[in-house]
């Protein structure tokens, strides 16, 4: 048995045809506008997110400063089952801030570091210990990842809305077809289905 081949008609919603309905044209425009808005939204959303990530990282870098702290007591060896991915442990450190006050807090240090050892920690403007600011390469990587995720999210929302509108239009079209079949069946007094 030979397989039948259907010729695919491109852009049929915009061609003149007695079978084309007004809803087909509207659906074509909805899909076209949806894809264009998704593209534009993805570009602008990605750029805004990338700029926001860079601005946040630069602000963190400007507000934090490196201080040298002294380890108060020996850092423990956590054992093989308790080692974090960066192989650092929490230990108590003491340092003097810019105002001349002595502060004590927990910081991540290498395991088995002896008490009295000097370690570098990063503090914010209030004197609290914070993570080390991101490097230029890390900022670039975070901004690219944030931009891509925001672009995908913006495009996904727009395309999801477009898909929902198309479903509503499809449901309405099927109801119209059912009503037209009902009108065609009733004059002869019998039903086709």
Spell out the domain ranges in the chain: 35-63+133-185, 65-132
What is the per-residue pLDDT across 22-59, written as a single tens digit (0 to 9) for each? 888 888 899 999 999 999 999 999 999 999 999 999 99
Which CATH code, of 1.50.10, 2.40.50, 3.40.50, 2.60.40, is assigned to 65-132? 2.40.50
Identify the pLDDT of residue 58: 94
What is the band of 108 on the pLDDT scale with cuts at 50, 70, 90?
confident
Q: Distances in Å between the alpha carbon of 58 and those of 61, 64, 84, 193? A: 5, 10, 27, 69
User: What are the tens digits of pLDDT across the range 155-175?
Assistant: 999 999 999 999 999 998 889
**Does residue 85 register a pLDDT over 90?**
no
SS3 state of residue 4 = coil
The token duo for 25 is: 């044209």
Distance, CA of 163 to CA of 34 (rounded, Å): 9
Q: What is the pLDDT of residue 165?
A: 95
């Amino acid at each position: 048995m030979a397989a039948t081949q259907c010729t695919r008609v491109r852009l049929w919603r915009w061609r003149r045809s007695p079978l084309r309905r007004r809803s087909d044209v509207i659906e074509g425009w909805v899909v076209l506008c949806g894809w264009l808005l998704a593209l534009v939204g993805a570009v602008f959303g990605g750029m805004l997110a990338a700029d926001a990530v860079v601005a946040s990282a630069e602000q963190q870098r400007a507000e934090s400063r490196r201080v040298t702290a002294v380890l108060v007591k020996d850092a423990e060896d956590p054992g093989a089952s308790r080692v974090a991915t960066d192989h650092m442990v929490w230990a108590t450190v003491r340092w003097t801030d810019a105002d001349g006050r002595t502060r004590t807090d927990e910081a991540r240090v290498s395991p088995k570091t002896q008490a009295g050892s000097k370690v570098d920690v990063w503090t914010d403007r209030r004197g609290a210990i914070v993570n080390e600011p991101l490097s230029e390469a890390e900022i670039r990587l975070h901004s690219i990842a944030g931009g891509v995720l925001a672009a995908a999210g913006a495009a996904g929302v727009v395309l999801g809305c477009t898909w929902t509108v198309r479903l509503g239009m499809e449901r309405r079209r099927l109801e119209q077809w059912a009503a037209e079949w009902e009108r065609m069946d009733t004059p002869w007094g019998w039903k086709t289905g």
